[in-house]
């Protein structure tokens, strides 16, 4: 809407929002009425940084006209921890645990992107078994991340029971992670050259039991949500952004696929043997919140299919590269081989050196393209590590999604955007 500006430049026509923005240049909450008359009064509402519906420490400066959101300005940086800077001060293999903490729900993906970039620089071949083990854990992590998203998003819509059901399944995945790596979060399982350890006896059976269970559980979630008129009415037709806008904004992942664009790096540019598996890319039609929910929900089934195939076809062989310059020698060799002892000592003290160069390694994370840029100067520490975190880029799509919608839809849209503030702020 346009209004005529007041005062001396009464000729200039500005939008109500622009007029208001000028009054609000420093970020302060102003109670000054703006616009032409009382019926067009705008209000700035500060949401967050500590608000249960912002899914993290996110501050949203919303400009409201009545109940309608006219503009929104996300303010981030509250959990900035300087991980990219920290990484420059650590040997390559010691960077893995810190980058895992960026997007804290997708820790396998962060480690995969970083290790992939380093492996590219090293020109390292990854043994097939390691690639399959990576895929199994990445897809379990994807289900895990989507489960947390579904549980908390449903919570925002008032469906509290969904939260418990999703966390019940998530707990099983965390148990599996604990079984294979010893940790539930930030497992440090993916290493440069492969994975930390082979899966233990009994792991496969437990994963298969979970895979048998998971599709039924996903069906139950669908029954609970999609047959609930409140949920459907709040999601359908809200937060629509078309495909072209999304692409211009650099949005990737389920948000882009919900607009009908079948862009998935696992298919488009397969890495880590993803081309061995048969799976589909779920896409939406109109790109509203309901499509975003449906796309992620459908990915539960596809991830289950991928893990099943990876378990069926799990190749024999080493779980990590046998290049002793990069990967630690097995423990038992240290007692008998001087060579192994030297390698072990070199790796633990200095780490391995990476030839100079730059690499950008993109993978398909649960939220979109997770790309890791690594620059090496030939030393044992990276000269630059940068994560192109999908949440950071996708957050820019929040304004076009919520503009001119109701503030109640803002909460639902933000939940369907699935931002992880650890990844945004890094």
- Asked if 293 touches other proteins (CB under 8 A), the answer is no
From 29-37, 60-68, 81-89, 210-218, give the range in contact with other proteins by CB under 8 A. Answer: 81-89
Q: Is 49 in the site for other proteins (CB under 8 A)?
A: no
- Asked if 383 interacts with other proteins (CB under 8 A), we say yes
Q: How far is the CB of 377 from other proteins (least distance, A)?
A: 9
Question: Minimum CB separation from other proteins for residue 327, in Å?
Answer: 20
Contact set for other proteins, span 396-415 (CB under 8 A): 396
Contact 288, 235 (CB under 8 A): yes
Task: Report the nearest approach of other proteins to the CB of residue 243 (Å).
Answer: 11
* Selected binder of other proteins within 113, 148, 249, 416 (CB under 8 A): 249
Candidate segments 78-86, 104-112, 143-151, 303-311, binder of other proteins by CB under 8 A: 78-86
Q: How far is the CB of 251 from other proteins (least distance, A)?
A: 7
Q: List binders of other proteins among 96-135 (CB under 8 A).
A: 120-121, 123
| Cβ 110 to other proteins shortest distance, Å | 15
Q: In the complex, what is the shortest distance from the CB of residue 296 to other proteins, in angstroms, rounded to a whole number?
A: 21
For residues 184 and 178, is the Cβ–Cβ distance under 8 A? Answer: yes
Nearer to other proteins, 82 or 158 (CB): 82
Residue 364 is a binding residue for other proteins (CB under 8 A): no
Q: Is 260 in the site for other proteins (CB under 8 A)?
A: no
φ, ψ (nearest 5 deg) of residue 43: -135, 135
Select the residue interacting with other proteins from 375, 380, 417, 421 (CB under 8 A).
375
- Which member of 360, 379, 406, 407 binds other proteins (CB under 8 A)? 360
β-bridge partners, 65: 68
Query: With binding defined as CB under 8 A, does residue 371 bind other proteins?
Result: yes
3-state secondary structure the chain: CEEECCHHHCCCEEEHHHHHHHHCCCCCCCCCCCCCCHHHCCEEEEECCEEHHHCEECEEEEEEECCEEEEEEEECCCCCCCHHHHHCCCCHHHHHHHHHCCCCCCHHHHHHHHHHHHHHHHCCCCCHHHHHHHHHHHHHHHHHHHHHHHHHHHHHCCCHHHHHHHHHHHHHHHHHHHHHHCCCCCCCCEECCEECCCCCCCHHHHHHHHHHHHHHHHHHHHHHHHCCHHHHHHHCCCCCCCHHHHHHCCCCCHHHHCCCCCCCHHHHCCCCCHHHCCCCCCCCCCCCHHHHHHHHHHHHHHHHHHHHHHHHCCCCCCCECCCCCCCCCCHHHHHCCHHHHHHHHHHHHCCCCCCCEEEEEEEEECCEEEEEEEEECCCCCEEEEEEECHHHHHHHHHHHHHCCCEHHHHHHHHHHHCCCHHHHHC
- Does 269 help bind other proteins (rule: CB under 8 A)? yes
169, 288, 369, 418: which one contacts other proteins (CB under 8 A)? 369
CB of 58 to other proteins, least distance (A): 13
The residue range among 60-68, 184-192, 299-307, 369-377 that interacts with other proteins, by the rule CB under 8 A, is 369-377
- Interface residue with other proteins among 193, 239, 282, 362 (CB under 8 A) is 362
Residues of this chain that interact with other proteins (CB under 8 A) are: 76-77, 80, 82, 84-86, 88-89, 120-121, 123, 245, 247-251, 263, 268-269, 357-360, 362, 369, 371, 373, 375, 383-384, 386, 388, 392-393, 395-396, 425-426
């Amino acid at each position: 809407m346009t209004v005529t500006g007041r005062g001396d430049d009464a000729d200039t026509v500005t939008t109500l929002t622009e007029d208001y923005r000028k009054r609000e240049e420093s970020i302060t909450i102003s109670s000054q009425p703006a616009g032409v008359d009382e019926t067009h009064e705008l209000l700035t509402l500060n949401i967050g940084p500590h608000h249960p519906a912002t899914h993290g420490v996110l501050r949203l400066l919303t400009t409201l006209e009545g109940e309608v959101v006219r503009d929104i300005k996300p303010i981030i940086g509250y959990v900035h921890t300087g991980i990219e800077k920290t990484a420059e001060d650590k040997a390559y293999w010691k960077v893995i645990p810190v980058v895992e903490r960026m997007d804290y729900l997708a820790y396998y993906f962060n480690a995969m992107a970083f290790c992939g970039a380093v492996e590219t620089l090293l020109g390292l071949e990854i043994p097939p078994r390691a690639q399959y083990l990576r895929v199994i854990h990445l897809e379990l992590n994807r289900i895990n991340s989507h489960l947390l998203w579904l549980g908390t998003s449903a919570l925002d819509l008032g469906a509290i029971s969904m939260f418990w059901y999703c966390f019940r399944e998530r707990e099983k995945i965390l148990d599996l992670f604990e079984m294979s790596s010893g940790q539930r979060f930030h497992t440090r399982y993916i290493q440069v050259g492969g994975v930390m350890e082979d899966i233990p006896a009994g792991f496969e059976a437990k994963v298969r039991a979970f895979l048998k269970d998971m599709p039924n559980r996903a069906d139950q979630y669908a029954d609970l949500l999609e047959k609930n008129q409140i949920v459907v009415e709040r999601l359908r037709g809200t937060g629509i952004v078309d495909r072209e806008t999304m692409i211009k904004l650099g949005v990737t992942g389920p948000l882009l696929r919900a607009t009908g664009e079948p862009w998935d790096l696992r298919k488009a540019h397969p890495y880590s043997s993803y081309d061995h598996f048969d799976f589909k890319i779920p896409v939406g039609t109109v790109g509203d919140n309901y499509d975003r929910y449906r796309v992620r929900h459908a990915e539960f089934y596809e991830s289950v299919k991928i893990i099943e195939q990876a378990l069926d076809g799990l190749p024999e062989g080493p779980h990590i590269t046998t290049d002793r310059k990069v990967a630690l020698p097995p423990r038992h060799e240290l007692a008998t081989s001087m060579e192994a002892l030297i390698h072990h000592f070199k790796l633990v003290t200095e780490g391995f050196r990476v030839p100079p160069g730059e690499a950008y390694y993109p993978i398909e994370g649960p939220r979109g393209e997770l790309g890791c840029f690594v620059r090496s100067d030939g030393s044992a520490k990276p000269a630059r590590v940068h994560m192109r975190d999908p949440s950071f880029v996708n957050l820019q799509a929040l304004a076009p999604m919520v503009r001119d919608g109701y503030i109640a839809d803002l909460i639902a849209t933000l939940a369907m955007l699935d931002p992880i503030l650890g990844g945004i702020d890094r």
